[in-house]
Structures are given as structure tokens and as C-alpha cells.
Chains A and B, each alone.
Chain A
Amino acid sequence: MRLEPVASQTLGRTLGFPAIALALTVLVASLLAMLAGANPLATLGLIVNGALGSKFAVLETLNRATPLIFTGLAVAVAFRARLWNIGAEAQLYAGALVTVLVGTRLGLPGPVAIPVMAMAAVAAGALMLLLPVMLKVRLGVDEVVTTLLLNFIMLLFISMLLEGPLKDPMGMGWPKSEALPRDARLPRIVDGLRLHWGFALGLISAVVVWFIQVRTTLGYEIRAVGLNPEAARFAGIPVRSVLLKTALLSGGLAALAGYSEVAGLKGNLTLDLSPGFGYTGIIVAMLALLHPLGVVVSALFVAGIFVGADSMSRAAEVPTYIADISLATALLFMVVAILMTRFNLVRG
């Protein structure tokens, strides 16, 4: 068997295969529910209801989507340049850490603290990714492994700080940081609705990233480097500096996830601030085909599945990990579907 490019991509092909991928994912989820002895339709219904069934559910989904928009954008930007940033988790924590440091130690008045925390977080996340990317461009060290390993190092570092200098003296021995002062928190978008400005910042970031990609030289260079670094170099594009700029952008975006979780939702830093938002960002970005605006849609979809599955597993005897399996399956089906829109499998 081998792959043969299709002569012309039809709209049916472009939409049909991804649709089949999603249908197959639903099928897998149904089988998993049956495996748990539950009625698949009822299970899927409970998931949808848990994600969208009430005002509370929708707000929960939007809140869960917020960090995923940032990590999804971070991954999308990096993967576009074929920079394999698997370290969004570490960059998220770097952002969260700096947010807490600035917010609780500097004594800035709220309206000043909110933007300063954001800028400091972005800088921290950018630096966090700069190290492995420097190693990549200078020494040829593969960034996949280094960014992955940095996730573990960062989590231990945070754990050390939370049990040491950052420990909240009023925390009853619990490893958590002091909380940000009230006026240094991101306000809610609408009074009375539990949704903070972090979500809006996510939407704005998506538009900004989209603008960078389609309207600026950097965006063009990022795409060129991602398509073919050799050709890009030949065309006079400074590949190294493009990769470094991409790293700053990607790391900064991931850090905003930590900023928005701390300043918008939780108020303090704990070791369970992120249940793997950095890794889930990879799924979000891939399902969005690395398109910045698509990231918003796919973050909402992925968040809905997680929130819905949590709520479903409280009602039915189906473990919540059904969400993780379904999303991993969706990712794999989707990459095959995208391939199928462009190639035919031929015998021989």
C-alpha cells in the first residue's frame, strides 16, 4: 500500500473525513460506556447535559475552556513552526508562579497589578521555553524530550516553593500559596455570572495570534520554517531567530493560562492548579488543525467533554477517564482524516 495525492480536494472530502473521524470517536465512547455496563445513549446524553444543560454547566465549560484556549494557542503556534513544545504545562506553572509572586509580594494597587502580573507571567513562560529552544538551535538537542522533562522539574520546583518560602502561613499546613488581594483579581465579565476576563483575554489572544499568522512577516516566516526549514533558510529566512521568536510567543501564551487560572479563578497557587492543561493543549491544537480561531472552538469542545464527563460519572457508573480516551481517539482519528482529505491509499 502507498499514498497517492488526490488530484483535486473537494469540499466533501475536506469536511467528510473529519466528520467521519468525529462519528467514529462517538462510536468508541459508546463502546466504552457499554463496557462499563451503561446505556451508551444515556451516557452521551448525560455528558452533553453536563456540559451544556444549565447556566451553571455552560459557565463551567467556558471556565474550563479558558486555560485550554491559551495552551492550545501555545501548541498551535509552536507546531506550526514544527517546534515541538510539549512543555506548556511547565510554562503554565511558570506564569502562575510569577503571577502569585507579583500579586502578593510587590504590594501594587489592583489596577496596576493586573496588567503587570500578566506581563511578568508572559515573560516567565517565554523564558521557560527559551532554554530548550536555545539548546535546540545551538546544540541540536531535541526539544521534545527537554520540554517534557522540564514539566517534571517545574512541578517539583513549585512543590518546593509551596512547602517553603511561598507557603501560606494561614494554609493549615496545606501546600498552597497566599491568595492574591481581592483587587488584584480579574473581574467577572458580567456581574453575578461566574466567568472572568481571562476568557475574554483568551478570545483576544486567539485573534491576535491569527492576525500575526496571516498578516505579518513573522507569521509568514513561521509557516515557511514549519513547511521546510531547509528551503526557508535558502530563501533567506533567519530560521534560528524565527524559532526563538516562536518560542517566546508560544511560552508566553501558555503562561497566560497559569495567569488566568490564578488571577481569574483560583486566587492562589496550588500543585493541582492544572490537571494537565498543557498536555490537553496538544489535543486542542491538533483538533483545530493548528488554526488560532479554530483553537477557540476546539477548546470549548474539549472543555465540554471534560466537564460533561465529570458530571456524567457522578450520575452513572462510568469512570470519568472516558473523556480522556475519547479525546485521544479523536486526535488519532483526526490526523488520519486530515491525511485522507489529501491522499488516496492505493494498492501496490
Chain B
Amino acid sequence: MEILDILMTASFWGAVLRIASPLIFATMGELICERAGVLNLGIEGIMVIGAFAGWMAVYAGLGLWPGVMVAMATGMLFGLLHATLTVPLGLSQHVVGLGVTLLATSSAYYAYRLALPEVTSPPRIEPFQPVDIPVLSDLPLLGESLFSQTPLTYLALATVAVVGFVLYRTPLGLALRAAGENPSAVEAQGLSVTAIRMGAVVAGSGLMAVGGAFLTMSAFSSFFFEMVNGRGWICIALVVFGAWRPGKALLGAILFAAFDALQIRMQQTPLGAVVPYQIFLMVPYVLSILALVLMSRRAEVPEALMVPYNRGER
């Protein structure tokens, strides 16, 4: 019964979209990389450095949107590093990805300590404020939750549409998907697999960083160590759950966020008084593993995912 009560509140569905937003950005980023054939395990670290860079830029006096651009550019820089090592050099995507995560995370922490050596609690910035969409936001239940969000949430939803459109309705998307399925065919068309894959990883990493920036610029207004807390890894699971399709991945992210928002609220119920809070906190990670298990049988993995392409080699 309590669950039903929770599900019927506008604040619950508002929270679902808020929790889903960073996941949507980063999941779309990872999806682009993987559709082009590159597993990007740098995602966790890129989200950390995106969260830091955007927040720091605003703290240093930039506007919020320029801050988002800074976060994105920083993510793209680390994406370029990942792409250079994994695409033309064909190095292990596992090792490079983890290396990029470690590098990006420690760089963010180092820069944080350099910039703010003395602080015990991080300074706050003025984050993005909710924007009501006229008329729609007056709708009962849905209005308050869906149409009274911060601009970054609307941007996250728009990103899904754009990614879907580009992937399935443009020559660029066709080439990108082909690079992940059958790279030799792309090369036969006179296109460069290397360029397409690198572009995908750089662009995807930019989106991951914006996902991280959502945390500091829309959700929390401060940067904390370990604030990303495995969200990147969860996004990798979401890409699999979404069968490498933007729409399904969006659905997965929202479903996931709903469970997350529900577990937070369940902690306040009589049930939460009996069950240790750690059990509730485990829910997102357990769900991610379950999602992977459920989808394992029918996942349509891109044919050339994790297979380096070296021209002239058969």
C-alpha cells in the first residue's frame, strides 16, 4: 500500500526524472561509443571529471551553460585520449578504459585539492533552477513532475531523440553503426573506420561528462569525492539492458531511476525501520546485475564491439 501511495505522488516522478538525467546522458554517451565498436570503461572517471570541471568553472565565475561546455570539452579531451589508444593503436579497451577512469578521477581530485587547499566542506554554486513549461506544467501529477525540471533534464531527453535520429536516420549514423558491425564494409565505402570510431568515442565521452556535470550543477550544487559512486558502471549495464538502442536505454534508465527513487522513499516507511538502510542502497547495483542477466540471452551485441580494426589485416 505504501508503495502505491509513493507511486501516486508528483514529487516521486519528479525525482525519477532527476535521478535518471545523469544516467541518460552517460548511457547515450556509452551507447554511441559501443555502437561504433568501442567499449568505453573510462565512463566512470569521465563522469567524475565532468562533475568537477563544470562545477569548478561556475565557481570560478563562468555562467552555467559555459560551465556545461567546459565539462563537455574536458570529457572530450579524455575521450580523445581513450580513442587514440584504443582505435589507431588498438590497445586493450579494458585496460585503457580503466586507466582513463583512474587518470580522470585522480586528476579531478588533484585539481580540487590544488584549487581549494584549505576547505573542509566544498563551496556551493548557484545550480540550474527548475523551469516550468507553460500550460503543461499545470497538468495534475504529470505536470509537476515532467514539466517542471531543470533545463539539463530537458536536454537529456532531447539528447535521446537526437542520438536516435542521428543513428537511424542519417548517413553518419549508418556509417557509425556499420563501424561497430562490419568495419571492412565501411572501409570499402571509402570511409575511415578510425575517424568514425574516434569521433564516436570523443562525442560519447563529452556526453558522459555532461552526465557528471548534472550531479554538481543541477542535483547537488557541490562537488564531493566519490559522488559518481558507480553510476558510470551502471550506465554500461543500462546500454546492455537497452539492447544498444537509445529508446530502450532511456526506458531502462527511467525504470532504474524509479527503483532508486522508490528505495530512498521506502527507507522512510515502517519497513525501512526494520531493514538496514544498506539493503536499500544495494538495490541499484543488484538491479543492474539482474538486468544484465535478463538481457544476456537476447542481447544484440554490435558484431565488432571490442574488436580493434587494423586496415589491411584480414
Which residues from chain A sit less than 8 Å from chain B, CB to CB?
1-3, 32, 35-36, 84, 86, 135, 139-142, 144-146, 148-153, 156-157, 159-160, 163-164, 279, 282-283, 286, 317, 319, 321-322, 324-325, 327-329, 331-332, 335-336, 339
A329, closest chain B residue (CB): B103
Residue of A139, A163, A283, A317 touching B276 (CB-CB under 8 A): A163
Minimum CB–CB distance from A106 to chain B (whole Å) comes to 25
The interface residues of chain A lying within 8 Å CB-to-CB of B109 are 319, 321, 324
8 Å CB interface, B193-217 against A: 194
Question: B278 touching A160 by the CB < 8 A rule?
Answer: yes
Residue of A149, A329, A339 touching B234 (CB-CB under 8 A): A149
The range of chain B's interface size is: 35 or more
Residue of A144, A317, A319 touching B110 (CB-CB under 8 A): A319
Give complex CA distance A319, B107 in Å.
11
8 Å CB interface, B153-201 against A: 194
Do A139 and B296 contact each other (CB < 8 Å), given the known contacts A335-B95, A339-B89?
yes
Give complex CA distance A159, B102 in Å.
24
The interface residues of chain B lying within 8 Å CB-to-CB of A339 are 89, 91
Question: A149 touching B285 by the CB < 8 A rule?
Answer: yes
8 Å CB interface, B45-90 against A: 81, 85, 88-90
Question: A331 touching B95 by the CB < 8 A rule?
Answer: yes
Give complex CA distance A93, B194 in Å.
41
Q: How many inter-chain residue pairs (CB < 8 Å) link A and B? A: 124
A141-B292, A328-B102, A332-B96 given. 13 additional CB < 8 A pairs?
A1-B88, A140-B296, A144-B94, A149-B288, A153-B286, A156-B278, A160-B279, A282-B98, A321-B113, A322-B110, A329-B103, A331-B102, A332-B81
Do A336 and B91 contact each other (CB < 8 Å), given the known contacts A160-B279, A325-B107?
yes
The interface residues of chain A lying within 8 Å CB-to-CB of B89 are 3, 336, 339
Give complex CA distance A175, B106 in Å.
27
Do A286 and B95 contact each other (CB < 8 Å), given the known contacts A2-B312, A145-B292, A157-B278?
yes
B306, closest chain A residue (CB): A142
Question: A328 touching B106 by the CB < 8 A rule?
Answer: yes
The interface residues of chain B lying within 8 Å CB-to-CB of A36 are 114
Question: A319 touching B114 by the CB < 8 A rule?
Answer: yes
The interface residues of chain A lying within 8 Å CB-to-CB of B81 are 332
Give complex CA distance A32, B103 in Å.
13
Minimum CB–CB distance from B63 to chain A (whole Å) comes to 26
Question: B91 touching A84 by the CB < 8 A rule?
Answer: no
B287, closest chain A residue (CB): A149
The interface residues of chain B lying within 8 Å CB-to-CB of A163 are 276, 278
Give complex CA distance A151, B98 in Å.
15
Minimum CB–CB distance from A335 to chain B (whole Å) comes to 5
Question: A148 touching B310 by the CB < 8 A rule?
Answer: no
Enumerate 15 A-B pairs (CB-CB under 8 Å) in ascending A order: A1-B194, A2-B310, A3-B90, A141-B292, A145-B240, A151-B230, A160-B278, A160-B279, A282-B95, A286-B95, A319-B109, A324-B102, A324-B105, A331-B99, A335-B96
Minimum CB–CB distance from B106 to chain A (whole Å) comes to 3
Give complex CA distance A159, B282 in Å.
11
Question: B85 touching A335 by the CB < 8 A rule?
Answer: yes
Is B258 close to A, CB under 8 A? no
Question: B233 touching A148 by the CB < 8 A rule?
Answer: yes
The 7 closest A-B pairs by CB, nearest first: A324-B106, A319-B113, A328-B103, A160-B278, A328-B102, A321-B110, A139-B296
Is B250 close to A, CB under 8 A? no
The interface residues of chain A lying within 8 Å CB-to-CB of B282 are 152-153, 156-157
Is B133 close to A, CB under 8 A? no
Question: A332 touching B103 by the CB < 8 A rule?
Answer: yes
Is B124 close to A, CB under 8 A? no
A158, closest chain B residue (CB): B278
Is B289 close to A, CB under 8 A? yes
Minimum CB–CB distance from B56 to chain A (whole Å) comes to 15
Is B146 close to A, CB under 8 A? no
Give complex CA distance A126, B233 in Å.
23
Is B16 close to A, CB under 8 A? no
Minimum CB–CB distance from B115 to chain A (whole Å) comes to 10
Minimum CB–CB distance from B290 to chain A (whole Å) comes to 10
The interface residues of chain A lying within 8 Å CB-to-CB of B234 are 149
Question: B106 touching A325 by the CB < 8 A rule?
Answer: yes
The interface residues of chain A lying within 8 Å CB-to-CB of B94 are 84, 144
The interface residues of chain A lying within 8 Å CB-to-CB of B105 are 324
Give complex CA distance A160, B278 in Å.
6
The interface residues of chain B lying within 8 Å CB-to-CB of A3 are 89-90, 310
B113, closest chain A residue (CB): A319
Is B281 close to A, CB under 8 A? yes
Question: A32 touching B276 by the CB < 8 A rule?
Answer: no
A340, closest chain B residue (CB): B89
Do A332 and B99 contact each other (CB < 8 Å), given the known contacts A144-B94, A152-B230, A160-B279?
yes
The interface residues of chain B lying within 8 Å CB-to-CB of A328 are 99, 102-103, 106
Minimum CB–CB distance from B121 to chain A (whole Å) comes to 17
Question: B236 touching A145 by the CB < 8 A rule?
Answer: yes
Minimum CB–CB distance from B110 to chain A (whole Å) comes to 4
The interface residues of chain B lying within 8 Å CB-to-CB of A331 are 95, 99, 102
Question: B102 touching A279 by the CB < 8 A rule?
Answer: yes
